[in-house]
Structure 1
Amino acid sequence: MRYTTFGRRTGLRISQYALGTGNFGTGWGAGTERGEAKTIFDRFVEAGGNFIDTADTYQAGQSEQLVGEFIHADRDDLVLATKFTVGANPDPKLSRTGNARKNLRVSVEESLTRLDTDYIDVLWVHYPDALTPIDELLRGLDDLVTQGKILYAAFSNFPAWRVSRASLLAEVSGWAPVAGIQVEYSLVERTAERELLPMAEALGLGVTLWSPLGGGLLTGKYRQSQDGRLSDWNNLVHTESSEQKTAIMDAVIEIAEQVGRTPAQVATAWVSERSRRLATTGVPIIGPRHVAQLDDYLGALTLALTDEQYDRLDEISTIDLGIPHQANTKALNRLQGGLAESVDGPAVPVF
């Protein structure tokens, strides 16, 4: 497994995959029992993975408990990320959700206890809320960095304008910087290309990409059965709900047959290659429930799509960037054409 830094604003070295542990435990009524979860964890680390991603809400706290047990022997060699906002209790009290300083402080203390560690490498603010002022959140995160309880603060599932505003406010105030973002991204969910990924590249933020298989859709398994996240959770899952998604699935399966690999490996390899070409150093978060699924993900590490295969998937899954991107693209093309014509003519392009 290769390694990169968590964006350009940190020296934190992370593996090219992060191990998502939302399946570790059975607190949601479905998931992975301890024994298989430990095997998945061990095999991921043996393959060179060092980036572990969890959250207080995953499996009602069980995921953090299992991760804390598994990482104990090699804590300082591993990069541990967790999240707060929603809370571990399925029925939380009033003050135990959201991003206010009170919930931030209590949530981190409880996560540290469940994880059996005295620091968290990356703390994700899991979701934005509609109440907490951004300066209150940033001050609270800065306090935790100063105390050594977290090393880096980052935002998950935030819109680009909130992240960019927070990043600037932290910078001018001398607070701990916003280090990264976490967003959904796959062949069937590319809307992060409109604002989030360009913003991350411009600001030098680290990027982790959740659900690279579209909640299991891109494995092709839902063409034969509903078993999996679709039946167990019926949440965070894509289905063949449009002609484009059906066309994407057809192309993924056809390319998989051409190269003798699984559809999941083709889809994951495309996300990794796409991140490289976008220069975002995006790290896919893989979330296997079974060892066989982990092996499938790891197999994608040795799959290099041809330019033709990559371009075909890119073209068929492309999205409409909308306003103002379409108008800006047209203007930029005219600008570039005007500049090319100005070598022997006027210095200012004429529109």
Structure 2
Amino acid sequence: MRYQTFGRRTGLRVSELALGAAMFGTRPGVRANPEQARAVFDAYADAGGNFIDTSDAYERGESEAVLGDLLRDRREQFVLATKYTRMPLTGVNLTGNSRRTAIRSVEASLRRLNTDYLDVLWVHLPDGVTPIDEILTTFDDLTRSGKILHGGLSNFPAWRVAAAAVKSPTLLGVQEPLNLLNRGLEREMLPAAEAFGLGVCTYFPLASGRLTGKYRQGEKGRFTDMNLPLEDAGQRKTVLDTLLEVSQEAGEAPGRVAMAWLLARADRATTAIVPIVGPRTPEQLQDYVKALAFDLDPEHYRRLDEASAPPIEDNTSHSFGGEFDRFKLPAVPVV
């Protein structure tokens, strides 16, 4: 893998792909148990990857604990990022973006991750209550204490990110979904990140498996388990139809074609865009790595761009596409 600085605000160098550890754990469902997680982690390291992304919410903290074991004796080889906010709601004073939650969450994450500092601390979700100044001063305090090196905002609206970028040199980047079925960040978030020199981590590169074409073949997966809509008669169907056509013409799997489009989109940006991939097996990891060396014909890129272009009326900075609806924090009245 090649390396780049994560935006223009830092000299922190990260690999082209980040490894997401959301599925590292042993809870029920399709997960990577500790042995499988080690195989994926080692394959990622062998491929030159150095950017690890997790959260205190993933597998209720087990993801961090698994990573803590994997990072033993090689912590300095990796850029380590985790998140706080805790979802779903587990208690008024145990969730949200407040200084209290951040400090408690960081201390617990450091213990589970078996480290004394984090390279990046993301705020996982906005809580609708905590002022941005409190979040930024908490970042600054944690930076001065040496417990984190940088802070970032995940799933925040672009106007709040812009306001934060003006106020805080500690703010490193943003994290948002980006794939052929969800290009909402291109409206406002990506221009803001490019203007302020913020790095961008993107997640759901294959739209939770929809861009592999497996659901068209009747296979089960995350979306069927959660009873979420796979596609509709509108743009999502058009995008998938186009993706499968291009895949057949290029002689490559749909998932690899979707990743090639995403990586080409990242190359056109004026700031770093790093997709987070979440393989459960070394073979899936290798598919992602191979996409780094795979290129489509210009005509194929044009067709995919046209089919997936966000509608004019869609001016939202990002959209989860239903994936996180059940995790939204409830509104809390401010009195």
Tell me, yes or no, whether TM beats 0.5: yes
Structure 1 equivalent of residue 306 of structure 2 = 315
Partner secondary structure for residue 72 of structure 2: helix
Contact 2:184 2:315 in 1 (8 A): no
Partner secondary structure for residue 174 of structure 2: strand
Please show how residues 1-351 of structure 1 align to structure 2 within 5 Å: 1-27=1-27, 29-86=29-86, 92-170=90-168, 176-234=169-227, 239-322=230-313
User: 1:223/1:324 Cα in 2 relative to 1: closer, same or farther (>3 Å)?
Assistant: closer
How many angstroms does 1:306 deviate by?
1.7
Partner secondary structure for residue 95 of structure 1: coil
Partner secondary structure for residue 176 of structure 2: strand
CA distance, structure 2, for counterparts of residue 43 and residue 240 of structure 1: 33
1:33-91 per-residue CA deviation (whole Å, 9 max, x = no partner) reads 1111110110011011100000000011110011111112211110001000016xx66
1:75-131 per-residue CA deviation (whole Å, 9 max, x = no partner) reads 1110001000016xx662321100111111000000000000000001100011111
CA distance, structure 2, for counterparts of residue 228 and residue 287 of structure 1: 14
CA distance, structure 1, for counterparts of residue 218 and residue 315 of structure 2: 41
The runs of 5 or more residues in structure 2 that have no matched partner are 317-335
Q: Larger % of helix: which?
A: 1
Q: What is the identity percentage for the equivalent residue pairs of Structure 1 and Structure 2? A: 48
Q: What is the TM-score normalised by the length of structure 1?
A: 0.86
How many angstroms does 1:26 deviate by?
2.8
C-alpha RMSD of the superposition: 1.8
CA distance, structure 2, for counterparts of residue 146 and residue 226 of structure 1: 49
Q: Which has the higher contact order (CA 8 A, sep 6+)?
A: 2
Stretches of 4+ aligned residues off by more than 6 angstroms: none
1:119-176 per-residue CA deviation (whole Å, 9 max, x = no partner) reads 0001100011111111111111100000110001000000001111111122xxxxx4
CA distance, structure 1, for counterparts of residue 62 and residue 30 of structure 2: 12
How many angstroms does 1:248 deviate by?
1.4
Contact 1:28 1:59 in 2 (8 A): no
User: 1:91/1:276 Cα in 2 relative to 1: closer, same or farther (>3 Å)?
Assistant: closer
Contact 1:7 1:206 in 2 (8 A): yes
How many angstroms does 1:200 deviate by?
0.4
Partner secondary structure for residue 14 of structure 1: strand
How many angstroms does 1:296 deviate by?
1.7
User: 1:304/1:77 Cα in 2 relative to 1: closer, same or farther (>3 Å)?
Assistant: same
CA distance, structure 2, for counterparts of residue 225 and residue 65 of structure 1: 35
Task: Give the number of equivalent residue pairs.
Answer: 316
Q: What is the identity, as a one-letter code, of the residue corresponding to 1:134?
A: I
1:188-225 per-residue CA deviation (whole Å, 9 max, x = no partner) reads 00111110001000000000110011111000000112
How many angstroms does 1:254 deviate by?
2.0
User: 1:323/1:303 Cα in 2 relative to 1: closer, same or farther (>3 Å)?
Assistant: closer
1:233-291 per-residue CA deviation (whole Å, 9 max, x = no partner) reads 456xx621243212211221222222222111100110110121132321111011233
Contact 1:128 1:158 in 2 (8 A): yes
Greater CA drift, 65-74 or 149-158? 65-74
The runs of 5 or more residues in structure 1 that have no matched partner are 171-175, 326-351
Partner secondary structure for residue 248 of structure 1: helix
CA distance, structure 2, for counterparts of residue 44 and residue 256 of structure 1: 25
User: 1:109/1:81 Cα in 2 relative to 1: closer, same or farther (>3 Å)?
Assistant: same
Q: What is the TM-score normalised by the length of structure 2?
A: 0.90
Q: What is the identity, as a one-letter code, of the residue corresponding to 2:129?
A: L
